[in-house]
Amino acid sequence: MALAPRTASVPNDLESYWMPFTANRAFKKAPRLIAGAKDMHYFTTDGRRLLDAGAGMWCCNAGHNRDPIVAAIQHQAAELDYAPAFQFGHPKAFELASRVSALAPADLDHVFFCNSGSEAVDTALKIALAYHAVRGEGARTRLIGRERGYHGVGFGGISVGGIVNNRKLFGTLLAGVDHLPATYNRAEQAFTKGEPAWGAHLADELERVVALHDAGTIAAVIVEPMAGSTGVLPAPKGYLPRLRAICDKYGILLIFDEVITGFGRLGFPFAAERYGVVPDLITFAKGVTSGTVPMGGVIVRKPVYDAFMRGPEHVAELFHGYTYSAHPLACAAGLATLDLYRQEKLFERAYQIEQKFADAAMSLKGLPNVLDIRTVGITAGIDLASRPDAVGQRAYAAMERAFYDHDIIFRATGETIAVTPPLIISESEIDELFDRVGKVIRAVP
Ligand SMILES: Cc1ncc(COP(=O)(O)O)c(C=O)c1O
């Protein structure tokens, strides 16, 4: 198999493509084009080899272009391209649902498939609302998210999400949404490895929200166990169990958005297991296929699923789904990916190298403009000081310098560099990665 396309063709007109979450004008003046990938590396159109410090976008947990996954997708495309998703099925959809639910804790036994994290979030919110309605508690319509939460870009997701730029231009969003406070406080938590000791009490804010609205109006709380897209904010010690206890007390469903934390990022199949907390619903995407074919889904506890299994048997129990729910290519990719995770023990591996990863990340403490470093699992967030009157510009410049001058690729979110490599990263590559990130930070005064 060819590794690096040395002379990949380059488009001569970049204008038509309106790129997502991208500074289009700046990109089109100085494009960063990627033409190939293998294991820990990307290859540019001019043949340079870049270390992937972002697992694509938190998704290629098994590394890139892994042979068994490639073969499974190729085989599936030749065998069954598509099967109707409503009222028909294909065997791999059932097999993958069983495999995913077997990885999830407790009685999280049922899987609803969709195609992205955003769809997974909107699906979970709809299931939560409908669950209360079918049980005769239709007044429970409020959804509670969290400041600095990212739950994708559907109207449900941006409503419960807590990023102002993702919300402010899009109207009134969903009605009846409230937010818990973010769990990050630099004064209390700076340079923490793993879960910060300070912050469990912030879960008690849910009591305040309940007192304000009454529990009988609240359907669900949705949080990321580790907020990724707003800069790697691990849950404080004890925070998630406390949230679970308050939800139990008031009959509120707890949704963990594990689109990033699922499939090994924090050293476990799901972060729920790391934290010993069983949510009612888990959303997932990204790592389920190691980023190869779009897929997302919601894992649901048995009592939630059972609540819907009533009424005439010829009628759909949930009026929701997508043409491409459980697409055959995604299912084939998912099964091959889960096999690879198991064969190479990648979740356990992530857990084993977490300390080494955290130490290497913390070695950047003291570099110019580094305000904080946070680590959890195989993930680090490095906050840089903003340049005067130009918030986000330094991290953006770091991302550019990394790509052009230091042969490394990572995501910058706001003023944070997010380092989230594939879980196959070797110990020497961890050192190499943070060495390069250090050089990049020095290069953006
Ligand atoms: C926690 C979380 N939820 C949802 C999403 C949205 O996923 P997608 O971009 O696949 O729609 C993301 C994406 O990064 C995410 O991090």
- Reduced to 3 states (helix: H, G, I; strand: E, B; else coil), residue 269 is coil
Does ligand 1 come within 6 angstroms of the Cβ of 152?
Answer: yes
Residue located via tokens 């990130």? 437
Give the amino acid at 257.
D
Identify the residue whose tokens are 């990572």. Answer: 410
117 CB less than 6 Å from ligand 1?
A: yes
What is the 116 CA–ligand 1 centroid distance (Å)?
A: 7
3-class SS letters over 327-368: CHHHHHHHHHHHHHHHHCCHHHHHHHHHHHHHHHHHCCCCCC
Residue 355: count of CB within 10 angstroms of its CB: 12
In 185-328, the DSSP E strands lie at: 218-223, 226-227, 233-234, 253-257, 281-284, 296-301
**pLDDT of res. 8:** 67
Q: Is 118 in the pocket of ligand 1 (CB under 6 A)?
A: yes
The answer to pTM > 0.95 is yes
With a 6 A CB cut-off, is 259 part of the ligand 1 pocket?
A: yes
Other residues' Cβ atoms within 10 Å of the Cβ of residue 390:
11
- Local structure of 65: helix, strand or coil: coil
| CA proximity to 372, closest of 235, 218, 184 | 184
Residue of 118, 148, 258, 298 best suited for mutating to test ligand 1, as the one with most atoms within 8 Å of CB: 118
β-partners of residue 380 are: 375, 419
Alpha-carbon distance of 322 to 86, in angstroms, equals 8
For ligand 1, the distance from its centroid to the CA atom of residue 259, given in whole angstroms, is 6
What's phi and psi for 214, nearest 5 deg?
A: 80, 135
Side chain identity at residue 278, one-letter code: V
Query: Of 379, 444, 375, 378, which Cα lies nearest the Cα of 415?
Result: 444
From CA 284, how far away is CA 109, in angstroms rounded?
Answer: 14
Pick from 121, 232, 289 the residue to mutate for probing ligand 1's pocket: most ligand atoms within 8 Å of its CB: 121
Contacts with 104 (C-beta within 8 Å, 6 or more apart), sequence order = 269, 270, 272, 282, 299
317-297-19 Cα angle (round to 5): 125
Cα 407 from Cα 48, distance rounded (Å) = 7
The tokens describing 423, both together, are 């879980």
| CA pair distance 271, 282, nearest whole angstrom | 10
Residues in the chain: 445
Residues 285, 330: contact at Cβ < 8 Å? no
Q: Where do runs of H (alpha helix) occur along 214-280?
A: 239-250, 271-275
Q: Is 228 in the pocket of ligand 1 (CB under 6 A)?
A: yes
CA of residue 391 to ligand 1 center, whole Å: 23
Ligand 1: atom nearest CA of 229 is 16
Structure-block tokens of residue 214: 């009454």
**How would you write the pLDDT of the chain (445 residues) with one tens digit per residue?**
445 555 566 767 899 999 999 999 999 999 999 999 999 999 999 999 999 999 999 999 999 999 999 999 999 999 999 999 999 999 999 999 999 999 999 999 999 999 999 999 999 999 999 999 999 999 999 999 999 999 999 999 999 999 999 999 999 999 999 999 999 999 999 999 999 999 999 999 999 999 999 999 999 999 999 999 999 999 999 999 999 999 999 999 999 999 999 999 999 999 999 999 999 999 999 999 999 999 999 999 999 999 999 999 999 999 999 999 999 999 999 999 999 999 999 999 999 999 999 999 999 999 999 999 999 999 999 999 999 999 999 999 999 999 999 999 999 999 999 999 999 999 999 999 999 999 999 999 9
Q: How far apart are CA 303 and CA 280, in angstroms?
A: 9
Tokens of 181: 């406070």
- Residue 281: CB atoms within 10 A of its CB come to 27
Nearest to 291 by CA among 70, 50, 31: 70
> 314 C-alpha to center of ligand 1: Å?
34
Q: What is the largest CA-CA distance in the chain?
A: 67
